[in-house]
């Protein structure tokens, strides 16, 4: 039986990896509307060639059933071959690797998290925002740190003309590397990244994701409106926006021609930071590829921002209509935040099949408000979760799931929600439908995010043919001794339960159902519980 | 220079411990109203006899200044004596222990956290509440787990007559021990605990806190109204409530006659679970001691609860008036939650000098609402923080501080706040004053909590004479190498920054001011950052 760390290096002497243990995912119930948790025990196998799920056997949930599975398929464990020197006798059999989730340690496989909105260069500012709101936070904290990702200009022309990742400042490379380390450690197998507007640094982020093995969409932030950018950090012109964006797209298409792991995403920062010409050119640029490129931007995060957009684009009926006019509302568009959308905007977004990235930690931290996720879902809009680092203070999608639950539980008491739902509001403020359950927030974190990045058939669950983008979660064992703690003697290291039982902050007492274990994971878990992480079948992170 | 772990055992061969490094606390600014952070570097000394701060020297912030301090006081480091065998030559000098916070590892001393409201027996339910609100959550999750803390009844009388902690079920002892381990690991030096209504288990909690060295108030939960308790878990009568409560008070007074570490606290669960007679007797019981005993209960957490109290106590003008009638609103009373108080109730609470425990994680998780902390503070009411485990999903006061900030940033958009502040509300929903800053939330977690438990002169800061109830926080070092991560080769263990630099989730890049380091700690920190914890000068928790 193989250790999980063995396949950090590429190994191709086996046909597939057989994962054995407990598999938990979110699924839609029979009625098709309400996400639920699903738990299976047994074996599931993933092709070494393409990293996709080829099948499973929930009868193989004990040693006998597992042995039958191995025999039926003519499989032999490569570790058995090595240990017993029986290579010859197994020549006719198919070699497989076996990875086991420990039942005693309460381990289970869970789909990897998808972060549909994260600003990689803002990572050094995580936790720094004082009491500011969106627009002053951008000027005080965000633009200064992002501007440091620029390379020195060409001495002859005074312009940035480099595209080589190695031309990015070393600190920028290191910050991007650390963002990838951190998001992987929290279980993020796929992220849609905002970079800065600098080509070498953006290409460095692409290269690092590709090398480290994280699935990623990489967006060079376009921002050519000098009136609403700071003077030390903006594109020189609408043309510059397009030329530089093309350079990052070409770099990524050369790096990963099939787009197996890393893809470009067209990224107008947000409407106020772009001229009309840039918005138009970016919409045309995305549409000029086949299939069309993904698009990401911000929408309706903050009430001051709404007023600004109205002032800047008086010809548009709404914030969403600005993007629609420039062909930026597409089935492959990720709209971050969407806290204050009107009913008309929601109808337009749904008609265009654009997707929404819900970023609750950021919306609460910046005081932007509470996104009415239930309304979006009821109206058939696709929603995933985003960390929005560093408006969000955490690179963890588990934290985003937790905050999605918390914010939804305060939503019924918000003035905006009560105004919009006056018919269903009783004296208590709401009918409670707006609350997101733990299974729902986990659905948003996995299958929801997969749909947001237009990969609903590839990611987010254990469906046949899906990519093995998966976390191995370890909650730790139950360690209740026979000894009374009242017999404790100071200094004898009594606190065994903390030290040798639980992992991180999750405490199990042996009475929990597996649904309750999942609830404890969501409310008390952290990166310590991510024992291993695979992307496309490749191990990209592990923790002893 | 001594290691921090050396004093887990009692050592009395030194006069005081000299702490050296960075000391950060919250203080009130000159105007006296707005908490700020204060940072000093140098040395501070604590008497080994009583665990209280005797003095400090901020000039001793380098080796030269520190040597001068030692010489001036005639101090000698006990570790130097041992190492150099110079006992004789130092006979005339005063022996001291030295504990150093590492500058390179971004370590600093910070006052211990005070958890002003935590239900110890509910700890196994942390993270389990589905989407319920207060009253159904009590019946579904809380009462079943609490009822398991009972001892078998006396076979002759059918009543519980035991008082010995050892008569508590082993599982109850273990859960209580684990609660203490967990709260210590998160930096809680003092906690006001709700126990259950069982005497042996409540006494076990007292004994365990005393042995493990956590400062604690221990309250046997009184609940004698069978109509609003479940049939399998309540006091038999008002008299039973008083008799059993007296038994726990006597046990604690025998265990800790001076009340140096553990004290009883009179605990009517909340008004609906008690008869009028029990409330009256409990108020008289608290007042019968000199000084009067502390009191803790719940108030105004949830709108359904408000309606219930109004129905049960039609003679009272308000929820607060119920407690006041029975002499339970005292300067030593902790009122948990206080989410929906009227202006009259706030005035009454202020007049009685009762204190409030703000439990933001719980209030958000149970959808109870957002406590208007700014209003309470503006009106001169004393506020501290509580985890409210397991209505709150975390035993960490750092998490409570974070949630206090987050909830306050959503407060301006709540219907209740806008209704009460219609004059100061503009189109954006609020003037922003309601937001709690990081220094303010840390003030609530330390000095605020100290005032709530009526120990403002003893706990919460580094004032002369205060008890050394302190955390040593370690954020970790900055580890930015010279090597480009673009030269990464899969499998070579490149992710050094995560593995050898930061501690937990706090990442420092070397550019942060100490105020920014504190912000990063509050937003990204966890128990991994608590390197050591002292209560009254005694080391009660440490982490390698």
Q: Over the stretch B73-126, which tens digit does the pLDDT of each residue have? A: 999 999 887 655 555 555 678 999 999 999 999 999 999 999 999 999 999 999
Q: What is the pLDDT of residue B5?
A: 47
Do B56 and B43 contact (CB within 8 A), yes or no? yes
Distance from CA of B284 to the nearest CA of A (A): 33
Assign residue A154 the CATH number of its domain.
3.20.20.140
Domain membership of residue B457 (yes or no) is no
Q: Do B300 and B434 lie in a common domain?
A: yes
Query: Which helix (H) or strand (E) element contains residue B534?
Result: strand B530-535
- Whats the size of chain A, residue-wise? 544
- Does the pLDDT value for residue A159 go beyond 80? no
- B182 shares its domain with B301: yes
Check CB contact of A400 with chain B, cutoff 8 Å: no
- Nearest CB among B208, B414, B509 relative to A413 is that of B414
Q: Can you tell me the distance from the alpha carbon of B78 to that of B97, in angstroms, rounded to the nearest whole number?
A: 6
Note the pTM of the prediction, 2 decimals. 0.96
Residue A457 lies in a domain: no
* pLDDT of A6 higher than 50: no
A68 vs A479, residue with greater confidence? A68
For residues B317 and B344, the answer to whether their CB atoms sit within 8 Å is: yes
Q: How far, in Å, CA of A14 to CA of A3, rounded?
A: 15
The confidence score (pLDDT) of residue B9 equals 46
Domain hosting A121: range is 114-452
**A39 and A166: one domain?**
no
Beta strand segments in B155-203, E: 188-194
Q: How far is B35 from chain A (nearest CA, A)?
A: 14
More confident residue, A539 or A501: A539
Q: What is the pLDDT of residues A467-507, one digit of tens each?
A: 999 999 999 999 787 889 998 766 555 454 445 567 899 99
In a shared domain, residues B372 and B401: yes
Read off the pLDDT of each residue in A199-208 and give the average, rounded to a whole number: 98
Rg (CA), chain A: 25
- Choosing from A419, A452, A485, the residue where a domain stops is A452
A182 and A149 share one domain: yes
Q: Using CA atoms, how far apart are residues A477 and B426, in angstroms rounded to an integer?
A: 53
Which 201-230 residues of chain B touch chain A by CB within 8 A? 204, 207-208, 211-213
Closest by CA position to B170, among listed B200, B196, B145: B200
Q: For residue B303, give the nearest of A409, A428, A437 by CB distance.
A: A428
Residues 403 through 422 of chain A touching chain B, CB cutoff 8 Å: 403, 405-407, 409-410, 412-416, 418
Query: What is the per-residue pLDDT across A372-409, written as a single tens digit (0 to 9) for each?
Result: 999 999 999 999 999 999 999 999 999 999 999 999 99
Query: Looking at the predicted structure, is the pLDDT value of residue A192 above 90?
Result: yes
For B164, nearest residue in chain A (alpha carbons): A486
**Residue range A172-187: mean pLDDT, rounded:** 96
Final residue belonging to a domain, choices B421, B452, B483: B452
User: Is residue B249 domain-shared with residue B183, that is, in the same domain?
Assistant: yes
Per-residue pLDDT, B161:
74
| Domain shared by A18 and A125, yes or no | no
Query: What's the CA gap between B503 and A294, in Å, rounded?
Result: 36
Residue A151 is assigned to a structural domain of this protein: yes
Same domain, B108 and B121: no
- The predicted structure's pLDDT at residue B427: 47
Q: Which is nearest to B40 in space by CA: B458, B509, B444, B463? A: B463
Place of tokens 């220079």: B1
- Indicate whether B24 and B141 sit together in one domain: no
Instruction: Mark whether B336 and B474 lie in a shared domain.
Output: no
For A169, how many CA atoms within 13 A lie in the half-sphere containing its CB?
16
CB contact under 8 A, B490 and A365: no
Q: Looking at the domain assignment, is residue B434 inside a domain?
A: yes
**So what's the pLDDT on residue A427?**
47
Residue B460 covered by a domain: no
Query: Are B311 and B442 members of one domain?
Result: yes
Q: Enumerate residue ranges in chain B where pLDDT < 50.
A: 1-2, 5-10, 427, 494, 496-498
The answer to whether residue A49 scores a pLDDT higher than 50 is yes
Of chain A, the percentage scoring pLDDT greater than 90 comes to 81
Residue A7 predicted with pLDDT over 80: no
Q: What is the four-CA torsion angle of B296, B298, B299, B300, rounded to 10 degrees?
A: 160
The Cα of B330 is separated from the nearest Cα of chain A by a number of Å equal to: 31
- B144 contacts B138 by C-beta, under 8 angstroms: no
Phi-psi region of A2 (alpha: psi -120 to 50; beta: other; left: phi over 0): beta
Say how far residue B190 (Cα) sits from the centre of its chain: 5
List the single best residue of B173, B415, B441 to mutate versus A (max A Cβ within 10 A).
Answer: B415
Average pLDDT score, chain A: 91
The CATH number given to whatever domain includes residue A520 is 2.30.40.10
The pLDDT value recorded for residue A494 is: 47
In a domain, A461, yes or no: no
Number of folded domains that form chain B: 2
| Residue B428 Cα distances to A139, A317, A337, angstroms | 20, 21, 17
Q: Are residues A148 and A82 in the same domain?
A: no
On whether residue B418 sits in a domain, the answer given is yes
ipTM (interface predicted TM): 0.95
Residue B438 lies in a domain: yes
Find the mean pLDDT for residues A301-322. Answer: 96
C-alpha to C-alpha distance for B336 and B323, rounded to whole angstroms: 13
- Last residue of one domain, picked from the residues B452, B485, B507: B452
Which residues in chain B touch residue A480, judged by CB atoms under 8 angstroms apart? 171, 174
What confidence score (pLDDT) does residue B480 get? Answer: 81
- Closest chain B residue to A164 measured between Cα atoms? B486
């Amino acid at each position: 039986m193989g250790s999980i760390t063995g396949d950090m290096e590429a190994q191709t002497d086996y046909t597939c990896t057989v994962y054995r243990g407990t598999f938990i995912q979110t699924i839609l119930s029979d009625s098709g509307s309400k996400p639920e948790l699903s738990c299976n025990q047994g074996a599931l196998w993933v092709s070494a060639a393409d990293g996709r799920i080829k099948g499973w056997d929930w009868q193989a949930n004990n040693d006998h059933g597992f042995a039958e599975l191995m025999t039926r398929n003519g499989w032999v464990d490569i570790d058995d071959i090595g240990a017993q020197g029986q290579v010859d006798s197994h020549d006719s059999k198919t070699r497989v690797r076996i990875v086991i989730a420990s039942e005693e340690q309460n381990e289970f496989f869970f789909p990897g998290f998808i972060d549909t909105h994260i600003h990689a260069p803002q990572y050094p500012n995580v936790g720094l925002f004082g009491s500011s709101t969106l627009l002053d936070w951008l000027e005080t904290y965000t633009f200064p740190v992002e501007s440091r990702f620029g390379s020195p200009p060409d001495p002859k022309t005074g312009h940035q003309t480099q595209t080589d990742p190695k031309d990015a400042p070393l600190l920028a490379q290191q910050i991007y590397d650390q963002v990838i380390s951190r998001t992987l450690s929290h279980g993020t197998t796929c992220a849609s990244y905002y970079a800065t507007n600098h080509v070498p640094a953006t290409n460095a982020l692409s290269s690092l994701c590709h090398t480290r093995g994280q699935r990623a969409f990489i967006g060079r932030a376009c921002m050519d409106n000098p009136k609403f950018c700071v003077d030390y950090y903006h594109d020189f012109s609408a043309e510059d926006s397009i030329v530089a964006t093309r350079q990052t797209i070409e770099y990524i298409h050369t790096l990963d021609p099939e787009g197996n792991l890393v893809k470009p995403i067209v990224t107008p920062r947000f409407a106020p930071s772009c001229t009309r010409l840039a918005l138009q050119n970016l919409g045309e640029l995305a549409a000029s590829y086949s299939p069309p490129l993904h698009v990401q931007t911000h929408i309706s995060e903050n009430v001051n921002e709404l007023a600004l957009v109205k002032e800047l684009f008086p010809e548009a009926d709404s914030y969403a209509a600005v993007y629609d006019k420039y062909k930026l509302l597409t089935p492959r568009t990720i709209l971050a935040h969407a806290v204050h959308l009107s009913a008309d905007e929601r109808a337009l977004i749904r008609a265009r099949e654009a997707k929404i990235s819900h970023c609750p930690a950021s919306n609460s931290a910046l005081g932007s408000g509470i996104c009415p996720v239930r309304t979006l879902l009821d109206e058939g809009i696709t929603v995933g979760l985003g960390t929005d680092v560093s408006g969000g203070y955490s690179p963890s999608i588990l934290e985003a799931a937790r905050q999605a639950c918390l914010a939804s539980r305060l939503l019924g008491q918000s003035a905006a929600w009560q105004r919009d739902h006056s018919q269903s509001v009783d004296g208590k403020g709401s009918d409670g439908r707006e609350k997101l359950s733990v299974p729902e927030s986990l659905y948003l974190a996995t299958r929801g995010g997969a749909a947001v990045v237009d990969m609903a058939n590839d990611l987010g669950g254990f469906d046949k043919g899906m990519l093995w983008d998966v976390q191995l979660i370890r909650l730790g064992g139950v360690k209740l001794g026979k000894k009374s703690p009242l017999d404790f003697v100071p200094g004898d290291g009594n606190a065994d339960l903390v030290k040798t039982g639980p992992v991180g902050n999750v405490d199990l007492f042996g009475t929990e159902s597996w649904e309750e274990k999942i609830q404890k994971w969501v409310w008390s878990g952290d990166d310590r519980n991510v024992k291993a992480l695979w992307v496309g079948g490749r191990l990209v992170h592990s923790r002893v």
